[in-house]
């Protein structure tokens, strides 16, 4: 028997034992959210709820697997049969079983992002829109605008008005492309990511019998990361749960970082309205980070508007101050980061150290340096494994075996042959579509390679071997082209393809393998304890490490240059910063290079420190800067310092911190006095900032940040 009351705190216990009716759990960063979900799963199972009655919707399949594994360990027996995964994967599994087209024996193929881009390009060309018009948005932009319009369920005009005013003149062209794109999908039996959700909603609304069946089946629903659901996802939860259903949403409005793809924080805010009688439970005790790390993360959030106020506190009093490190450039940043990683490796195992960044390409220099020193790393986010060109090539064959009329895949395979461009491809596709083998062979006569491709596909289609076997044959066939196309690094890519066969060997159904590959990047699946982690902040969501290094905290990079004009976007960047820093358990290092190397712009350009660092009270971190002789020097933030004489020569010196942030308090004054204090009502707290002349910002455990007159505080002098 599990002793729930002993192993959980009061709030967690309440969340774990409230099994009936709607529950909303507001889980602060590091507050034991996963633990709570895991114990709740265990509790349900211990009380005899069948696993098949539980639906667990998570943000990644990895998160779902982790929860199930931990629940198994807790219970002492394997947990099997719980439905779950991501919304998209769950949606596909329903469509696979119940979609009308599938029931009629037709194929539904999932398009990944690259397929959608190709399709949009195709529609744009076919309509002849914007030929030679440079002001017309790029294909990728068109796709994201159309997708945003669907995800936010706003007319395209409105999306443009809000986010891309300068593109309003092209509204008509973009929406015509959108209509053509929808026809294209319908015609070829293709579903893009957004379709998965909307098609399921339509299915559930059109088939009350099916809905009733599913409601009866999934009696207990849990949804993780609820702050990052969009409108249609929230409606799906409502449909599946029904009124007064046993549904638990878990999330944290302060960690909403997916508004750019249509996530709506309003979902978590109005959950209690949609489900009357909702029990709201807040998890506020932080078990992850040391107090100094927590102080810094609280300061990041202090100015952000938040609907569910939380006051994170910890009982851990130990810990070292976070560090702000100011290298001279992003190039030297890379070497300093790598030497810091080497130092950390003396204390922590590799998989407990993470380097986080805003965008995939920001880690490039660090990757080079790590390779140089032979430090193993794994990178998450950025270019996905399944989107690498060679993987897409091989998968295109697999898709054509399954669905001979999968146009994106056909285009990909056809393009591998010399002399075949877009027009020829379409002509051949039309011939192939007629299904007359003789005609097809004739049409391909001039392209022997393509003919060999199609013959291979025909053979495979007749035999329908297991996915792994099929891939092996495709790869053997593809090998000469791999070597020709990537003379520099084909062995590396070949290894990647072998990995693909490995992954496929776990599947019996080709269509499941293909859809899983587009729905979840297998590169993120297994973790590797011998490698340091490099990750975009988005991919770091929900994870934690002993030591965290954050790169490129400069304007234009973090916050991203695309996110500084609109207040909403800027706030999302701030939450992103919050998410990044709250990943750290013990060590946190923020890197602020003074210049960035820009190609074409004459080398190094000065870079301004990110506002997220500028606004931090100086007492919350230790500061280091790189001197021109190469070493790192500690800057004593408690006293005014003489800046290095050469500092301003190249315009890339650390910003003098005595320059006050406009309208903000001076972080320097009185910093020497910062320490702990006691207050009659709030108790002992940590002084975070002196607000001259006579106020202090104090963080009280369990209460949060308060601004208090010095007269009401008893100061401790322990420096």
Of 89, 281, 356, 517, the one binding DNA (CB under 7 A) is 89
DSSP SS3 for 394: helix
Q: Does 422 bind DNA (CB under 7 A)?
A: yes
Q: How many CA atoms lie within 13 A of 523 on its CB side?
A: 21
Closest residue by Cα to residue 403 from 433, 378, 374, 368: 433
Q: Does 234 bind DNA (CB under 7 A)?
A: no
Q: Does 384 bind DNA (CB under 7 A)?
A: yes
CB of residue 193 to DNA, shortest distance in Å: 4
Under DSSP, the state recorded for 445 is T
- Rg of the chain over Cα atoms, rounded to whole angstroms, equals 28
* Contact string (CB under 7 A) for DNA, positions 435-474, x = contact: ----------------------------------------
Which CB contacts under 8 angstroms, 24+ apart, belong to 442-447? 446/419, 447/417, 447/419, 447/420
Q: Does 539 bind DNA (CB under 7 A)?
A: yes
- Whether 30 has a binding-site annotation, put simply, is yes
CB of residue 544 to DNA, shortest distance in Å: 17
Of 546, 560, 605, 638, the one binding DNA (CB under 7 A) is 560
For residue 60, give both structure tokens: 């990644």
Q: Does 86 bind DNA (CB under 7 A)?
A: yes
Task: Give the integer Cα–Cα distance in Å for 691 and 676.
Answer: 15
Of 166, 599, 639, 680, the one binding DNA (CB under 7 A) is 599
Work out the burial of residue 128: count CB atoms within 10 Å of its CB; fewer than 13 is exposed, 13-18 middle, 19 or more buried: exposed
Interacting residues of 12 by C-beta distance below 8 A, sequence separation 6+? 32, 35, 36, 39, 283
For residue 530, give both structure tokens: 């011998």
- Whether 421 has a binding-site annotation, put simply, is no
Q: Closest CB to DNA among 493 and 686?
A: 493
Q: Which stretch binds DNA (CB under 7 A): 423-431, 453-461, 603-611, 694-702?
A: 423-431
Q: Does 382 bind DNA (CB under 7 A)?
A: yes
Task: Give the integer Cα–Cα distance in Å for 672 and 637.
Answer: 8
DSSP SS3 for 682: coil
Q: Does 424 bind DNA (CB under 7 A)?
A: yes
CB of residue 82 to DNA, shortest distance in Å: 18
Q: Does 693 bind DNA (CB under 7 A)?
A: no
Q: Which stretch binds DNA (CB under 7 A): 71-79, 134-142, 459-467, 509-517?
A: 134-142
If phi > 0 it is left, if psi is from -120 to 50 it is alpha, else beta; for residue 420 that is beta
Q: Does 496 bind DNA (CB under 7 A)?
A: no
- Whether 62 has a binding-site annotation, put simply, is no
Q: Does 356 bind DNA (CB under 7 A)?
A: no
Q: Does 421 bind DNA (CB under 7 A)?
A: yes
Count of residues interacting with DNA (CB under 7 A): 49
Task: Give the integer Cα–Cα distance in Å for 415 and 354.
Answer: 39
Q: Does 113 bind DNA (CB under 7 A)?
A: yes
Q: Closest CB to DNA among 164 and 669?
A: 164
Q: Does 358 bind DNA (CB under 7 A)?
A: yes
For residue 314, give both structure tokens: 């910890």
Q: Among positive and negative, which fits the CA dihedral 310, 315, 316, 321?
A: positive
Phi, psi torsion values for 25, nearest 5 degrees? -110, 115
Of 261, 279, 481, 706, the one binding DNA (CB under 7 A) is 261
Q: Which stretch binds DNA (CB under 7 A): 101-109, 267-275, 336-344, 412-420?
A: 412-420
Contact 377, 351 (CB under 8 A): no
Task: Give the integer Cα–Cα distance in Å for 204 and 101.
Answer: 15
Interacting residues of 571 by C-beta distance below 8 A, sequence separation 6+? 304, 305
List the end-to-end C-alpha distance of the chain, in Å, as a whole number: 48
- Whether 32 has a binding-site annotation, put simply, is yes
Q: Does 166 bind DNA (CB under 7 A)?
A: no
- Whether 627 has a binding-site annotation, put simply, is no
CB of residue 300 to DNA, shortest distance in Å: 17
Q: Does 229 bind DNA (CB under 7 A)?
A: no
Of 193, 218, 348, 612, the one binding DNA (CB under 7 A) is 193
Q: Does 520 bind DNA (CB under 7 A)?
A: yes
Q: Does 389 bind DNA (CB under 7 A)?
A: yes
Interacting residues of 101 by C-beta distance below 8 A, sequence separation 6+? 107, 108, 189
Task: Give the integer Cα–Cα distance in Å for 405 and 409.
Answer: 8
Q: Does 494 bind DNA (CB under 7 A)?
A: no
Q: Closest CB to DNA among 197 and 674?
A: 197
* Contact string (CB under 7 A) for DNA, positions 41-70, x = contact: -------------------x----------
Element (H, E) at 449: helix 448-463
- Whether 31 has a binding-site annotation, put simply, is yes
- Whether 462 has a binding-site annotation, put simply, is no
Does the bond joining 521 to the residue before it have cis omega, within 30 degrees of 0?
no
CB of residue 501 to DNA, shortest distance in Å: 21
Q: At what angle do helices 139-152 and 193-206 cross, to 10 degrees?
A: 30
Q: Does 542 bind DNA (CB under 7 A)?
A: no
Task: Give the integer Cα–Cα distance in Å for 655 and 554.
Answer: 12
Q: Closest CB to DNA among 574 and 697?
A: 574
- Whether 663 has a binding-site annotation, put simply, is no
Task: Give the integer Cα–Cα distance in Å for 563 and 569.
Answer: 5
Of 162, 309, 562, 684, the one binding DNA (CB under 7 A) is 562
Q: Does 190 bind DNA (CB under 7 A)?
A: no
Q: Which stretch binds DNA (CB under 7 A): 182-190, 378-386, 579-587, 605-613?
A: 378-386
Contact 707, 696 (CB under 8 A): yes
CB of residue 531 to DNA, shortest distance in Å: 18
CB of residue 554 to DNA, shortest distance in Å: 14
Residues that bind DNA (CB under 7 A): 60, 86-89, 113, 121, 132, 134, 138-140, 144, 147, 193-194, 257-258, 260-261, 358-361, 381-384, 389, 418-425, 519-521, 536, 538-539, 560, 562-563, 569, 599-600
- For the annotated binding site for ATP, the residues are 27-34
- For the annotated binding site, the residues are 27-34
């Amino acid at each position: 028997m599990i002793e729930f009351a002993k192993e959980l705190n009061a709030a967690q216990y309440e969340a774990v034992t409230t099994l009936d009716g709607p529950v909303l759990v507001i889980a602060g960063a590091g507050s034991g959210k996963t633990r709570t979900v895991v114990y709740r799963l265990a509790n349900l199972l211990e009380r005899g709820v069948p696993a098949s009655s539980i639906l667990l919707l998570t943000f990644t399949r990895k998160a779902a697997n982790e929860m199930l594994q931990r629940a198994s360990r807790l219970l002492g027996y394997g947990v099997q049969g719980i439905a779950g995964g991501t919304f998209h994967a769950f949606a596909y599994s329903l469509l696979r079983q119940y979609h009308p087209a599938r029931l009629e024996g037709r194929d539904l193929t999932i398009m990944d992002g690259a397929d959608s881009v190709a399709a949009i390009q195709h529609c744009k060309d076919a309509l002849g829109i914007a030929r030679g018009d440079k002001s017309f948005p790029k294909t990728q932009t068109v796709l994201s605008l159309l997708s945003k319009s669907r995800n936010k369920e706003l007319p395209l005009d409105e999306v443009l008005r809000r986010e891309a005013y300068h593109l309003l003149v092209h509204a008509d062209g973009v929406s015509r492309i959108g209509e053509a794109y929808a026809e294209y999908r319908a015609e070829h039996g293709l579903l893009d990511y957004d379709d998965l959700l909307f098609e399921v909603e339509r299915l559930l609304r059109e088939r009350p019998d099916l809905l009733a069946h599913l409601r009866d089946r999934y009696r207990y629903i849990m949804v993780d990361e609820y702050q990052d659901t969009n409108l249609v996802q929230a409606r799906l939860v409502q449909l599946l749960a029904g009124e007064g259903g046993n549904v638990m949403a878990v999330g944290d409005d302060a960690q909403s970082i997916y508004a750019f793809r249509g996530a709506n924080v309003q979902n978590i805010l109005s959950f209690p309205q949609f489900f009357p009688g909702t029990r709201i439970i807040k998890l506020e005790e932080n078990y992850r980070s040391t107090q100094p790390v927590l102080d810094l993360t609280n300061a990041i959030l202090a100015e952000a508007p938040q609907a569910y106020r939380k006051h994170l506190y910890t009982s851990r009093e130990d810990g070292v101050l976070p560090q702000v490190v100011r290298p001279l450039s992003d190039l030297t940043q890379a070497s300093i980061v790598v030497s810091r990683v080497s130092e950390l490796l003396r204390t922590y195992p590799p998989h407990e150290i993470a380097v986080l960044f805003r965008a995939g390409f920001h880690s490039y220099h660090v990757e080079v340096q790590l390779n140089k020193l032979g430090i193993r790393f794994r990178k998450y986010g950025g270019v996905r494994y399944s989107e690498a060109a060679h993987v897409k090539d091989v998968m295109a064959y697999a898709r054509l075996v399954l669905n001979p009329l999968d146009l994106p895949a056909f285009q990909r395979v056809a393009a591998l042959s010399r002399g075949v461009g877009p027009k020829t491809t379409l002509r051949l596709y039309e011939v192939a579509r007629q299904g007359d083998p003789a005609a097809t062979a004739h049409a391909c006569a001039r392209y022997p390679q393509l003919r060999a491709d199609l013959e291979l596909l025909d053979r495979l289609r007749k035999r329908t071997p297991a996915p792994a076997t099929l891939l092996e044959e495709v790869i053997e066939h593809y090998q000469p082209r791999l070597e020709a196309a990537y003379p520099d690094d084909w062995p590396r890519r070949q290894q990647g393809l072998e990995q693909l066969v490995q992954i496929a060997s776990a599947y019996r159904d080709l269509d499941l393998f293909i859809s899983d590959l587009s729905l979840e990047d297998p590169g993120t699946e297994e973790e590797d304890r011998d490698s340091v982690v490099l990750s975009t902040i988005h991919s770091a969501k929900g994870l934690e490490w002993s030591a965290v290094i954050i790169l490129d905290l400069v304007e234009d990079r973090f916050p991203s240059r695309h996110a500084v004009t609109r207040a909403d976007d800027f706030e999302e960047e701030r939450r992103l910063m919050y998410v990044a820093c709250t990943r750290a358990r013990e060590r946190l290092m923020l890197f602020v290079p003074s210049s960035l190397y820009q190609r074409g712009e004459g080398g190094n350009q000065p870079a301004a420190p990110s506002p997220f660092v500028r606004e931090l009270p100086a007492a919350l971190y230790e500061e280091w800067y790189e001197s021109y002789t190469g070493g790192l020097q500690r800057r004593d933030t408690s006293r005014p310092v003489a800046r290095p004489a050469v500092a301003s020569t190249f315009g890339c010196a650390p910003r003098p911190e005595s320059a006050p942030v406009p309208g903000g308090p001076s972080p320097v004054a009185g910093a020497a006095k910062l320490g702990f204090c006691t207050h009659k009502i709030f108790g002992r707290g940590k002084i975070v900032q002196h607000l001259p002349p006579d106020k202090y910002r104090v963080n009280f455990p369990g209460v949060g940040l308060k601004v208090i007159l010095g007269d009401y505080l008893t100061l401790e002098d322990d420096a």
